[in-house]
C-alpha cells in the first residue's frame, strides 16, 4: 500500500471498526507465540541505532533512534528494500549478531511472547564475511542468554533468500547441516516470489527434512495459489509463510483445513507490500471461515510500523473476536508451533489462566 510508505507508519486498524474488540491492555498482557518474524527485520530503531554507532562513519544508517525512525519512512517498496539491505550491512561481526539477536528477544519478551521462531538468513551474513561457525555460535549465545534473563524461548528457521538462487540454497543447507545450532527447528524459503519458482528448491528441502528439520517456505503472498500448491507438493510444507492467495482457491483452502496446515498471516505487512490493497480487503476472514488454521504474526515489525500486539488487535477487528476468541487465536499459534507437546500445553494453560483472571 503506497500510502503506508508515504506516511512512514504501519497501517494497524486503518478503516477497521474497533467497537467490541478486546482492550489494548488485554492484548498487551496476553501470552503469545510468534511464528513468522524476520531476524534483521525485527531490529527496532533502538537496536539499529546501537549497531550503527558501532560502525559510525561507515554506514548511511543514523546512530540516533529518533533519526532511525525517520530513516524508516519508505518512499516506495524499492526504497524499503534499499533500507532493509543497509540494515543487513550493519551485521558485520559476530558481536553484531549477538546484539541484534538478544535485543530482538528483549523486544518480543516485552510483548509477552513466550516462544518465537525467528526466520534467520545466514547466507546474507556469511556472504558478507562472517564465518558460518561464528554466526551460529553468536545466535546460540544470544538465545541462551535471552532465555535465562528474559524468559523467552527462541528457535530458528534457516531461510533461503530465493532471489540469490540455488547457490544460496546450497550454502544455507550446508550451514544448517554442518554447523547446526541447537535452536534450529526448520528450513524456509523467502525473498521475492515472482520469478522464483518453488520446485527448483526441492532437493534442498528434501535433504533438510531428512535431517529432521520442518519445512516452512513462504508462498502465495504476491503470487497465486499455485505457488502454495508447489510448496506443499514439492517442498513438503508443514506451514506456509503468508499464503494469503489460498483464499482464491476453494479446493486449496479445503486441503489446508483438512490437513491442518497452518498459514502464518501478517496483515499489516501484506498491506505495506501491496499484497492486498487495504486491511478491509484482507482475506484473513475468508481463510478462517473456510476452516484454515491461521496464525497472527508481525513479519518485519519496526520497518512496517507495527508490533505483534498491533497485529493481534488488527486480527480481533477483522475477525470480530472478543477476549476469549482472541485467546483462541493465540492458542492456535501455540498449536502450530514446533514446540514439544508438554510446552504447548504449558503455554496454552497460561493463556487460559490469563483469560480467566481477566474475566
pLDDT 10s digits, 98-132: 999 999 999 999 999 999 999 999 999 999 999 99
Q: Around Cβ 250, how many Cβ atoms within 10 Å?
A: 12
pLDDT tens profile 294-346: 999 999 999 888 999 999 999 999 999 999 999 999 999 999 999 999 999 99
Question: Which class is 2-358 in CATH?
Answer: alpha beta
Average of per-residue pLDDT across 348-356: 98
List, by residue number, the catalytic residues.
Answer: 221
Among 242, 248, 287, smallest CA distance to 266 is for 242
Q: What is the 8-class DSSP label of residue 303?
A: G
Among 39, 154, 34, 28, smallest CA distance to 90 is for 39
Cell 531461510 belongs to residue: 159
Query: What local confidence, expressed as pLDDT, does residue 28 receive?
Result: 97
H runs (alpha helix) in 55-192: 65-71, 77-88, 94-110, 122-126, 132-150, 165-178
As a whole number of angstroms, the distance between CA 256 and CA 249 comes to 11
Report pTM. Answer: 0.91
Amino acid at each position: 500500500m503506497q500510502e503506508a510508505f508515504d506516511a512512514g507508519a504501519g497501517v494497524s486498524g486503518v478503516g477497521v471498526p474497533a467497537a467490541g474488540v478486546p482492550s489494548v491492555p488485554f492484548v498487551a498482557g496476553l501470552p503469545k507465540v510468534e511464528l513468522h518474524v524476520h531476524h534483521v527485520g525485527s531490529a527496532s530503531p533502538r537496536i539499529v541505532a546501537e549497531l550503527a554507532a558501532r560502525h559510525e562513519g561507515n554506514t548511511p544508517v543514523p546512530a540516533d533512534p529518533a533519526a532511525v525512525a525517520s530513516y524508516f519512512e519508505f518512499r516506495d517498496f524499492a526504497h524499503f528494500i534499499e533500507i532493509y539491505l543497509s540494515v543487513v550491512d550493519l551485521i558485520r561481526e559476530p558481536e553484531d549478531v549477538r546484539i541484534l539477536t538478544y535485543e530482538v528477544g528483549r523486544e518480543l519478551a516485552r510483548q509477552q511472547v513466550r516462544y518465537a521462531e525467528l526466520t534467520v538468513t545466514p547466507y546474507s551474513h556469511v556472504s558478507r564475511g562472517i564465518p558460518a561457525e561464528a554466526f551460529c555460535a553468536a545466535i546460540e549465545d544470544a538465545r541462551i542468554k535471552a532465555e535465562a534473563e528474559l524468559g523467552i524461548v527462541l528457535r530458528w528457521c534457516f531461510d533461503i533468500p530465493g532471489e540469490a538462487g540455488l547457490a544460496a540454497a546450497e550454502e544455507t543447507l550446508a550451514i544448517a547441516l554442518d554447523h547446526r545450532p541447537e535452536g534450529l527447528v526448520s528450513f524456509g524459503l523467502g525473498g521475492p516470489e515472482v520469478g522464483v519458482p518453488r520446485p527448483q528448491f526441492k532437493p534442498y528441502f528434501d535433504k533438510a527434512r531428512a535431517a529432521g528439520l520442518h519445512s516452512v517456505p513462504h508462498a502465495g503472498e504476491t503470487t497465486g495459489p499455485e505457488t502454495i500448491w508447489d510448496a506443499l507438493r514439492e517442498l513438503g510444507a508443514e506451514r506456509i509463510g503468508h499464503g494469503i492467495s489460498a483464499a482464491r482457491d476453494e479446493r486449496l483452502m479445503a486441503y489446508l483445513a483438512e490437513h491442518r496446515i497452518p498459514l502464518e498471516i501478517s496483515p499489516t505487512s501484506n498491506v505495506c507490500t501491496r499484497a492486498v490493497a487495504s486491511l478491509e480487503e484482507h482475506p484473513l476472514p475468508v481463510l478462517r471461515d473456510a476452516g484454515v488454521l491461521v496464525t497472527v504474526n508481525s513479519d518485519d515489525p519496526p520497518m512496517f510500523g507495527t508490533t505483534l500486539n498491533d497485529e493481534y488487535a488488527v486480527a480481533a477487528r477483522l475477525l470480530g473476536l472478543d477476549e476469549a476468541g482472541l485467546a483462541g487465536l493465540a492458542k492456535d499459534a501455540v498449536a502450530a508451533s514446533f514446540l514439544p507437546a508438554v510446552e504447548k500445553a504449558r503455554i496454552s494453560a497460561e493463556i487460559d489462566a490469563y483469560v480467566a483472571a481477566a474475566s
